Structure 1
Amino acid sequence: MDTNNSCGAERVDSHPMREFGDAATSAANPGTTTIHIEGPSESPTHQPGLPRGSGGEEDDELLGNDDSDKTELLAGQKKSSPFWTFEYYQTFFDVDTYQVFDRIKGSLLPIPGKNFVRLYIRSNPDLYGPFWICATLVFAIAISGNLSNFLIHLGEKTYHYVPEFRKVSIAATIIYAYAWLVPLALWGFLMWRNSKVMNIVSYSFLEIVCVYGYSLFIYIPTAVLWIIPQKAVRWILVMIALGISGSVLAMTFWPAVREDNRRIALATIGTIVLLHTLLSVGCLAYFFDAPEMDHLPTTTVAPNQTVATAK
């Protein structure tokens, strides 16, 4: 019995002694290599990544990477409420003041080579900024148009000023139709071309509306400055506003169509800029440069003057 116990003790203690011997051998011979055999459940702690070229980095910078796609997917998962509920639309206005100001600043200072959607919109697209930007622009154009008309005819005894409230409804129809119908048509076109040509870019309808809404912010101070009764100054202002906002749209949507046919891509960007130009020039021509003839008083002829003229 004692012999068996001593043998068992030797068997139990053999493993610690072996580990101690291995450690001692390693310490005595630093140049030796110790091989550890890992179990199937263990995994390496570090896995080297694959090298990436400059082209892939450029696409990630302009169009987004896997992280941005995951962020967009998670953002879509948050909007799980039915579309007829208030909670579904409440998520579109879940944005803070800092984000709105940051997106406005990005629309006023477009950076060449940077995608507006990738930098500002994709993490949390909203309708709060576009809605209030369009509403402010409507009242800015209508009020500035009335003030411009008043200043042009200021001092004329034959002119009687009457405020034109119909300009508010006309401006609202033009601005909101442009900010919603044009993005809807562009979204449908991009979806159609994406089914024809394999493309790595896709913009949601909410992202396109967001881009168009924030691109209109530059026209709010421009509409206020249009009160200046000088056509040359007004046209210089409209060209500056058109250059800033048009560049935001062109640089945002060019990555979405550059993989398409060259003519189709250029025609798409040209159409976007052309519609934006028509909005700018149309608002300036209708609300500020149009002659006001409705309130000119009519001259009356006295009866004695008619008799004298007959004689």
Structure 2
Amino acid sequence: MASANDPFQFQEFEEAASLLEADRDATTITIDDEDTKAEKQRIAAGFIPDGDDEDRLASDDKTELLSGQKKSAPFWTFEYYQQFFDIETHHVRERIIGSMVPWPRKNFIHVYLRRNPDLYGPFWICTTLVFAIAISGNISTFLGKLGKPNYKYTPEFGKVTIAATAIFSYAWLVPLALWGFLLWRNNKAMNLVTYSFMEIICVYGYSLAIYIPAVVLWILPYEWLRWCSIMVALCLSGSVLVMTFWPAVRDDHPKMIIATMSAIVVLNTLLAVGCKVYFFSKPETLIPVEHAPAAEVIKTTHAAATHST
């Protein structure tokens, strides 16, 4: 039993007790009642506390992550394309390395994309490849004709436009055609793997990364080195494409499998060989007049005389 002088024992103030005893109908107000009343007024007016708002947003994010669904904006809005440029640097590095070093039974989409394709890497890879082809082609032409008489170097800026048209057409139109074909075959045959359009673009964009160092090597005026680098780049890039899209067509009709895989390899080969032949063709050797055959000298002299008359 507690003593009467215990300081921790609850005690009532005599003055407050006497006032309540004198007027029992009086209304008492406490601090807790004021806080509760103010909170009810804010809620009634439509104001939500910041803590509740954050909890609600956090719960929405958790619900979205647990359900596996992601809110997507319409494709004509800026927010739709913004998500494809939201990627970390180490992810881009991993995807570039993965496109240059293919491994057997290693699907590029399943291993590196993880249902999160990006356009940042493919865009800058294609842009870098365009300028690498144009600059290397100009340097190669300059080195090939350096020291020849009556030669004046003029930069060919038109190569940038031609290279951009070829590279970006390959990186966008070919994936579009392949996506449409796979979508059509998926409706015809069952149990076929389907890829989204952005995933196919991402694969084709990263598959071009191996051509950037190969194009730099094309500056050296050695045809054997150029063709060897082309073959290595074709094997690496083609292997990534074939291993990625093989699961999408392996259950299809054999003729469709052969046609699809052949089209992928042939288009990749045409791009590489076409860029080499157009931008890095061997310069024509000028034959001096004193070493030219007599028939050529007579023909040239006769043509000049006819033109002067």
TM-score if structure 1 supplies the norm length? 0.69
1:210 aligns with 2:205: no
In 2, the alpha carbon distance for the partners of 1:214 and 1:271 equals 19
Equivalence for 2:221: 229
Please show how residues 13-92 of structure 1 align to structure 2 within 5 Å: 74=68, 77-92=69-84
Please show how residues 157-236 of structure 1 align to structure 2 within 5 Å: 157-236=149-228
Note the residue ranges of structure 2 that are not aligned, 5 or more in a row.
Answer: 1-63, 286-303
Q: Residue 197 of structure 1: CA displacement?
A: 0.5
In 1, the alpha carbon distance for the partners of 2:96 and 2:80 equals 25
Paired residue secondary structure (1:78):
coil
Equivalence for 1:264: 256
Q: Residue 79 of structure 1: CA displacement?
A: 4.7
Paired residue secondary structure (1:158):
coil
Q: CA, structure 1 residues 84+198, in 2 after alignment: closer, same or farther (shift >3 Å)?
A: same
In 1, the alpha carbon distance for the partners of 2:284 and 2:88 equals 43
Q: Deviations over 1:267-310 (max 9, x none)?
A: 110110000000000000000116479xxxxxxxxxxxx99xx9
Paired residue secondary structure (1:163):
coil
1:127 aligns with 2:127: no
Percent identical among aligned pairs is 64
In 2, the alpha carbon distance for the partners of 1:290 and 1:183 equals 32
1:143 aligns with 2:135: yes
Alignment match of 1:152 (pick from 144, 151, 154): 144
**Aligned AA (2:229):** L
8 A contact 1:79–1:91 mirrored in 2: no
**Aligned AA (2:237):** S
In 2, the alpha carbon distance for the partners of 1:275 and 1:220 equals 18
8 A contact 2:118–2:198 mirrored in 1: yes
Q: Residue 230 of structure 1: CA displacement?
A: 1.1
In 1, the alpha carbon distance for the partners of 2:80 and 2:250 equals 34
**Aligned AA (2:165):** T
1:93 aligns with 2:88: no
Equivalence for 1:12: none
Please show how residues 236-275 of structure 1 align to structure 2 within 5 Å: 236-275=228-267
Q: CA, structure 1 residues 79+243, in 2 after alignment: closer, same or farther (shift >3 Å)?
A: farther
Aligned residues: 224
Q: Residue 82 of structure 1: CA displacement?
A: 2.4
Equivalence for 1:106: 98
Q: Residue 253 of structure 1: CA displacement?
A: 0.5
8 A contact 2:144–2:283 mirrored in 1: no
Q: Residue 89 of structure 1: CA displacement?
A: 1.1
Q: Residue 99 of structure 1: CA displacement?
A: 0.3
Note the residue ranges of structure 1 that are not aligned, 5 or more in a row.
Answer: 1-69, 294-305
**Aligned AA (1:247):** S
Q: CA, structure 1 residues 262+139, in 2 after alignment: closer, same or farther (shift >3 Å)?
A: same
Q: Residue 249 of structure 1: CA displacement?
A: 0.3
8 A contact 1:153–1:159 mirrored in 2: yes
Q: Residue 264 of structure 1: CA displacement?
A: 1.0
In 2, the alpha carbon distance for the partners of 1:290 and 1:278 equals 18
Q: Residue 84 of structure 1: CA displacement?
A: 2.7
8 A contact 1:250–1:272 mirrored in 2: yes
Q: Residue 159 of structure 1: CA displacement?
A: 1.2
**Aligned AA (2:74):** P
In 1, the alpha carbon distance for the partners of 2:73 and 2:236 equals 37
Which aligned segments of 4 or more residues in structure 1 are displaced greater than 4 angstroms?
290-293
**Aligned AA (1:206):** M
1:282 aligns with 2:271: no
- State the Cα RMSD in Å: 2.1
